[in-house]
Each structure stands twice: as C-alpha cells, then as structure tokens.
Amino acid sequence: MSKNVREVAVDVLLQIEKNQAYSNLLLNQTINKSKLDRRDIGLLTELVYGTIQRRDTLDYFLAPFVKKGIDKLEDWVKVLLRLSVYQLVYLDRIPDRAVVHEAVTIAKKRGHKGISGMVNGVLRSIGREGVPDIKDEKDPIKRLALETSHPEWLVARWVKQFGEEETRLMCEENLVSPAVTVRVNQTKATREEVISMLEADGIAAVKGELSEDALIIKAGQVFESKAFKQGYVTAQDESSMLVGRALGANSGERVADVCAAPGGKTTHIAEQMNNEGSVLAFDLHDHKVKLIRGQAARLDLSIIDTQAADARKLAEKFEPESFDRILVDAPCSGFGVIKRKPDIKWAKKEADIKAIQSIQQAILNAVAPLLKKGGTLVYSTCTVDKDENEETVEAFLAEHPSFVKDEDLKNRLPKQVIDSKRFKSGMVTILPQDFNSDGFFISSLVKQ
C-alpha cells in the first residue's frame, strides 16, 4: 500500500532526526522516488521544512502536554507530534479534526493502541487548551530563540555580533521560504531572451533585483523547462552570484576555484570569461567533482577542468604563481542559508565554528603562493559569522603582508550592496534580511 503525504513526511523527518541527513537533498530524493501528485509534493515540502524550521517552538508548545517529557518519546512519535502541532498552529487551511485523525491513523499503523491513544489525547488537549504563550518567557534571548525557533546559543552569539534588532530580523527572515532564482548563461542568451523562452514553457520570470545575471521565478517548474535542460539557466541564489562578479575574471585568464562543488560559481566564472581561458575546479570528493562536470556539460562550458583534490595540498601539484585569480568559497557553518537548509541550525554546535575557521585559514594559507603578483584572491562563505568571515580575513592579512584589501571591489558589486552599511574596504557581509537573499560574505584581496 502506498503511503500518504503525512506518512512520507514522518519518514523524511525521522531520517533527518536520527541520521542528520540534509533536508534539501533527502526531500529531493524522496520526491523523485515517490508517486505523489504535484499538490502533495507542495504539502510535503511545507510539512518537512516547516516542522524542521519550527522544531524548538513546537517542542515548547508540546512540553506541558507530554507528561513523561518529549525527549523520552520514541523518535517517530516525537516527529509525528511535531508535524501535527505544526499543522494545528501554522496551517490554517487544514482542519484540526483532519490533523488529529491523520496522526492517530499513522500512530496505529506504526505503534500500538497505547501510543495512538496518547497521540490522540495530546493533540485533543492542545486543541481544547491552546499552546503556551512564549511571551511569558522573561529572558529576552530565550524568548527570541523560542519565537523564531533558533538555538539559544546562536541567538546569543548573533546578538553579540549584530545587536538584538538585526538578530531578530535575521531570525524572522530565516523562517521565510526562499525565492526560486536562476542565473542566466549569458554566453547563450540575454535575460530578456530567456524570459521569453520560459514564457513559452508556461513559466513566469522577472529580472532579479540584486544580480545582473538573475531571474526570479514567479510560477512554473523552471527545472523541467527546455531553458534549463539546454543550459540557458542554472540554479543559484542572487547573493551567491555576486561572488563570481567579485572575482572579475577576464577572457583568456587562468583561474582556480579551489572548493568548487557543486559548481555554481565555477560555471559562472567560465560564463563571465566568455568560455575563453581556463578554469580549474577542485573539490575533495570524486562524487562532488562529477557534479561540477555535469553542470559544465549542461551549460556547454568547455574551459572547465576538474580534479578531486584537497585545497590545502594544491602547492604539491602547481608551481608558485600559477593563477591569475583564485576563488576560495570556503567550507563554513552555513548560517547564511538557514531558510534554504533549516536543519543546519540544529546540526551545528558553537564549538564547530573554531574547527571550521582553522580549515578556512589553512586553505587560504595554502593557495596564497599559487596566485600571481597583481592577481586577485576572493574569499567567500555562505555564513554570517564574523569569526569565519572578517576575523579569518584579518588573520590571513596579518600573516601575508604581500596581500592587501582590494579597493576596486566596489566597482564590481551592485550599487545597493556598496551603499549598504555592511560594505567595508575590500569586503561585504550580506545578511538574509538585507535583500531577501541568502546570507553571504565576500572579500577580495590583491597580491602585491
């Protein structure tokens, strides 16, 4: 018997809870394998992302109604209750009685009569009595963490780095579904031409507001369109598109992208070079390098060569001063893309940040000798954490006096980014609420 959409949602959430699977990858795999119709795919996505995004808030709501404690429940029961309370509190279009009925039916199939009775009792009690009011929490950090369902340590860290108001805006923005954006392959067509192509496929798109390469998809399945299959567009957030612009590669140059998978920025660099010159793309794992090759082939970009390699050991493969430009889009905590990958905020711990920062610094130190004098080194991350961003760059500059901040970076980024209060000499942080895009950090350094 095939499973209904809520049973499938419980399966996906359980794998994320137990195995720390990546929500976006697991959801895509599940959708591809399942025989759910398009409306149910929309509901499945809402249920999975919504339940993960609101996890701690849902547990706060459940706590008074689960006498033995939420942590003592079996994982599948905990997930089922969270999923059900998410629907009761946040999805007006689903009647409460339907939510309870579906949850009890799933509990009967998976467990025994006692568990289904407990699920029924908890959900009916919540329906009668309502959920507790978060405003009763006195501590402002804890209250903000509960209201926006973020780890308390992360909220406290952001308040120290950005202040309470910016932190609130960032946490609230992280709960908003991200826009679907694509980058136009301008070696093949203009944005206007691609908009017309998409319209012919029944897809509504408008120009992006931040990147000159971006389209925002308003309606339709762009990744099933001819324009996508024939390499006219590729999936990329608008903030991420600014990294390629910041690097500023020209036709005929030799460029290295040292942490390149899945290849979004690599292919953007090749497009900006008009597919003339060479781009060497590296990543640690073969299966990730294959993703870069696949992207390059679909976009008809022939100047990209790929290798599985550790960026910290590239000096063993290349002579000093081998490249005109180098991109280090470094491994990071990913706190700028929480609205796209909500499980990140639960998977990462504060202690992880120092460990990641040491890898970032090791990569920068390793690739520095490979850049030609006068060349450009761009360091970027999809996190907003200052230790991984500004502090990493400043530590690098202190160790490498031949590098200076790139004063020309302002000529390669959009005016609204330059005019933002977060642009500084040679670097900029974009918070998710600034342009409703991903959070990003971009810095550009020049070797003298």
Q: What is the pLDDT of residues 336-388, one digit of tens each?
A: 999 999 999 999 999 999 999 999 999 999 999 999 999 999 999 999 999 99
Give the CA distances from residue 50 to residues 13, 57, 232, 300, 352, in Å, rounded to whole numbers and listed in that order. 11, 11, 32, 37, 25
Which positions are catalytic?
A: 382
Residue percentage of the chain with pLDDT more than 70: 99
* pLDDT value for 36: 77
Please give the angle made by the CA atoms of 418, 160 and 352, to the nearest 5 degrees: 95
pLDDT at res. 21: 67
Q: Is 178 among the annotated ligand-binding positions?
A: no
pLDDT-derived band of residue 1, with 50, 70 and 90 as boundaries? very low
pLDDT of amino acid 39: 77
- Greater pLDDT, 343 or 184: 184
Cis preceding linkage at 132, omega within 30: no
- The answer to whether 330 is annotated as binding is no
* 283 belongs to an annotated ligand binding site: yes
In this model, does residue 267 exceed pLDDT 80? yes
Quote the pLDDT of residue 2.
Answer: 62
As a whole number, mean pLDDT of residues 126-137 equals 93
Tens digit of each residue's pLDDT (9 = 90 or more) over 269-305: 999 999 999 999 999 999 999 999 999 999 999 999 9
Q: Is 329 annotated as a binding residue?
A: yes
d(CA 106, CA 118): 13
**Distance, CA of 8 to CA of 11 (rounded, Å):** 5
Across 55-77, average pLDDT: 94
In the three-class reduction of DSSP (H, G, I as helix; E, B as strand; rest coil), residue 166 is classed as helix
In angstroms, the Cα distances linking 371 to 212, 273, 387, 433 are: 28, 18, 25, 35
387 belongs to an annotated ligand binding site: no
Higher pLDDT, 30 or 357: 357
Mean pLDDT, residues 428-447: 97
Region 37-52 average pLDDT:
88
Q: What is the pTM of this model?
A: 0.92
Element at 172 (helix H, strand E): helix 164-173
259 is in an annotated binding site: yes
pLDDT of residue 171: 98
Which residue from 379, 394, 397, 373 is spatially nearest to 448, judged by alpha carbons?
373
Pseudo-torsion of CA 76, 125, 87, 81, nearest 10°?
Answer: -10
